[in-house]
Structure 1
């Protein structure tokens, strides 16, 4: 489908929504809108010319530093105009990051493990990146690409961040660096002057593609990340498929799209120490200035396990829209199934969110939307517009606290939200809505089913009481 045809189709679909609000969750219209987005997502074009990492001096014995071999292979690929770099079975130690070039497919064959050094000094000098929604310079992500196109990581191999003894211990030390980064954000300090790294304890990401387009990450197994596992920053046209996780170190989010558009996440088995998918879009001033929403994101056929299944926010100041979560289930416990979070520091918008045919086992909260996340920003006036959220065919076996929660603000109530066919076997609180308007609830059973009412007669004695 050409870009012009895509735009024309979206114009028609949005017009139908605008003039026929009663059709807002019509399956035909929702599917047409989703499919128009899918037609734009192709992922990377993979190069045909193959080279082996072994030919550049790598040795998969877990002892030899293979970073020089990766550097040489990437340099050769650049000279060739692109290459498919094959990493055969073995354990490859890396004393430093892999920096991608354009038109490279990195294939980790079954039995291959990239094991990164836990020594922080190996991830210097600083590179352009972001940290919790603020642009800055920091330690290099372990696998990093900046302003590239057509990049892939594929294969049944393992990416092991090996971060348990160093980076995973940094959270207790990060407060000064974290606060300084936010102060620079709010004061709009030029990004070139936001230099962190050594002494600030801000952990790098495991995989980050920044300002890139045409990306595929498929089938690999990810473990022991220093921070977020896959960070897709200001990038577009991406497929994340078949990835497997056992990443339970501190803040090991599975996939974090930020300022990112046209993204397909499918057939992934999550097992993370934090959010499985966390859609973000910049913090406060940086987000407002960038003005590039995260949009056109489809999450389907995934198994969730970890802190939260799908999260939107809280760093989302450029806005989030056109997100589809479909046909997903659970592989274990999640604290919350779907969690949408913002506060009056953020501004921006969250809109056009569709959740269909998803199931969870045991959770604390099933579907939770709050405009007061962490109690931050309550004295500020950057309220977020949260509206047009459509939930259909959502199931859960046990909800320990609350099944459906909507928490708006007086300044910006949450509006145009519908729940259709939500079934929860056991629930502490069925629903809790505050500062909302135009909310629809139909065919929902929250905490079990009520059958046919019993009848009463005089012999029951109730009339004599």
Structure 2
């Protein structure tokens, strides 16, 4: 094998520092395992409330919102238990989960969600792409609840398509046509930006009808002790699962198939103590994206997403496998990913960090190991501190530091190659990206070994790209 050396304006670290960093890496993994082990899973009374007993009809046409909600409310008020969705197809509008309720969607059961926006009124508190507002209720929602779950082998279908919800994106590929309304109107995303810039009070930020901001599929805010396990989720209107300002979250064995616009799979935002394991993601946007608010709506509360463990997951189509950003103004810390497989001709990147100097935020501590990559389009590892340049120059330089990546293999031999093995870009004149440790990695079948700019304290140890050892001097 050849050795390729790069001359970069970097401060190279010593062997002693390498040893210390390896010890810190090991210690950090032990710490996250302990944090996750100490999380208490939701538990429920052994009592079942069948939605059929509350008037639900499994004909796929009757709107069962009232019956399902009555079962949930009754279950919670009487001390909790399981709300059972039995085998069959049940049409519903917004479902609001409550304390001590396990919504169990049985194998063979299909919860099919209405495509009538009026079935997601009244408006509820949420965040939309990182900005605080009141908007249509997510299809499944909770606010300020504790100890609840969604479980079972059944399916939740948001019925997102080029005929419903997706045209609101304002792009022809998703069914939008000239003259149709979309989130691009002044009453949509631009108004949300205006509210944020002017720091409008939350109660004044009323979206909903006439604003065309699609609802999330599953979202909850200010909640604790939540589990989503085993279910299949398809065809989301927007982001698929979006916890906000919540803690102690278990996301296990979930299968997501949603290839629509902004169909991020799992987006914990300003959340603490999160386990993601044994899940499958096939998405129209990032598979997993960690967030913490956009611009002042993230900076003012300054609540990072922290203590996240992602393991044993499979990522198929998407913009990125494990992603931090772009709405990351409140920062992220102690993020871990291991033992995952990522591959699709339509997967852009495996590991991705994205921000800019409008959004800012400090990402401190990303630990990634044992990742098998079959195919990506852009880069295996991508750090981008100038994401979405149309926003222009801002005054909040981001920072990405203390990133430890080891044992990633990628083999695109005989397939369409990725553009880059490593694509790491900070900001000229700023210490935006520093302390990056990449070791024991082997990437084959990429067009370009790397694109590295404005990175401080980059260390490559035993890194091979296209059978060439990559070193710095």
Question: d(CA) in 2 for partners of 1:413 and 1:55?
Answer: 58
Question: d(CA) in 2 for partners of 1:202 and 1:144?
Answer: 16
Over 6 Å off, 4+ runs: none
Alignment map for 1:11-410 (pairs within 5 Å): 22-26=19-23, 28-94=26-92, 96-164=93-161, 165-172=163-170, 173-175=182-184, 176=186, 177-307=188-318, 308-330=320-342, 332-333=344-345, 334-364=347-377, 365-398=379-412, 399-409=417-427, 410=429
Instruction: Tell me, yes or no, if the aligned pair for 2:356 and 2:397 is still in contact at 8 Å.
Output: yes
CA drift of 1:20 comes to: 7.0
CA drift of 1:425 comes to: 1.3
CA drift of 1:122 comes to: 1.2
Deviations 1:96-147 (A, max 9, x none): 2001111100101100000011111111111111100000001010000000
Structure with bigger RCO (C-alpha 8 Å, 6+ apart):
2
Secondary structure of residue in 1 paired with 2:238: coil
CA drift of 1:31 comes to: 2.5
Matched, 1:415 2:434: yes
Secondary structure of residue in 1 paired with 2:31: helix
RMSD between aligned residues = 1.5
Q: Which runs of 5+ in 2 are unaligned?
A: 1-15, 171-181
Deviations 1:322-375 (A, max 9, x none): 000100012533111111001000122011000100011111211000110021
User: 1:8 — aligned with what?
Assistant: none
Higher helix share: 1
Matched, 1:433 2:433: no
Secondary structure of residue in 2 paired with 1:256: coil
Secondary structure of residue in 2 paired with 1:270: strand
Instruction: Tell me, yes or no, if the aligned pair for 2:342 and 2:350 is still in contact at 8 Å.
Output: no
User: 2:461 — aligned with what?
Assistant: 442
TM score, norm. by length of structure 2: 0.89
Question: d(CA) in 2 for partners of 1:332 and 1:366?
Answer: 12
CA drift of 1:61 comes to: 1.7
Instruction: Tell me, yes or no, if the aligned pair for 2:304 and 2:333 is still in contact at 8 Å.
Output: yes
Secondary structure of residue in 1 paired with 2:445: strand
Secondary structure of residue in 1 paired with 2:259: coil
CA drift of 1:290 comes to: 1.1
Question: d(CA) in 1 for partners of 2:143 and 2:324?
Answer: 24
Which is further off, 81-90 or 214-223? 81-90
Question: d(CA) in 1 for partners of 2:310 and 2:135?
Answer: 30
Question: d(CA) in 2 for partners of 1:151 and 1:180?
Answer: 34
Instruction: Tell me, yes or no, if the aligned pair for 2:129 and 2:294 is still in contact at 8 Å.
Output: yes
Secondary structure of residue in 2 paired with 1:354: strand
Question: How many residue pairs end up in the alignment?
Answer: 431
Question: d(CA) in 2 for partners of 1:40 and 1:181?
Answer: 38
Instruction: Tell me, yes or no, if the aligned pair for 2:251 and 2:276 is still in contact at 8 Å.
Output: yes
Task: Give 1 or 2 for the bigger CA radius of gyration.
Answer: 1
Which is further off, 265-274 or 327-336? 327-336
Question: d(CA) in 2 for partners of 1:392 and 1:21?
Answer: 13
Deviations 1:56-101 (A, max 9, x none): 111212122211111210221132021211111000011x200111
Question: d(CA) in 2 for partners of 1:366 and 1:222?
Answer: 27
